[in-house]
């Protein structure tokens, strides 16, 4: 069953990062904006990796006799 809460979390994090990026760039803090974007990408990738791990575990249990 598909869990939509993770999609909403990723979307909310993306919106937050875009707003934070615009604020930091307007303040002249381009370095912090880049670091914040990279941290956001890492957080989203960790969320996705946990889902892929669950997928592999499910597939492994399906084909184990």
Region at 2 (left for phi over 0; alpha for psi -120 to 50; beta for the rest): beta
Considering the domain boundaries, does residue 33 fall inside one?
yes
- The whole-angstrom separation of Cα 57 and Cα 46 is 17
Residues 3-47 pLDDT 10s: 788 889 999 999 999 999 999 999 999 999 999 999 999 999 998
Structure-model confidence comparison of residues 3 and 56, the more confident one: 56
The pTM for the full model equals 0.76
Distance CA 59, CA 57 (A): 6
Structural domain count, the chain: 1
Asked if the structure places residue 16 within a domain, the reply is yes
CB 6 within 8 Å of CB 47: yes
* Residue 65 domain flag: no
Give me the domain span that covers residue 41: 4-60
What is the C-alpha to C-alpha distance for residues 6 and 13, in angstroms, rounded to an integer? 10
């Amino acid at each position: 069953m598909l869990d939509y809460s993770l999609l909403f979390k990723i979307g909310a994090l993306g919106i937050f990062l875009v707003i934070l990026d615009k604020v930091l760039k307007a303040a002249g803090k381009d370095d912090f904006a880049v670091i914040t974007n990279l941290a956001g990408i890492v957080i989203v990738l960790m969320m996705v990796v946990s889902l892929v791990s669950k997928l592999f575990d499910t597939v492994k249990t399906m084909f184990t006799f």
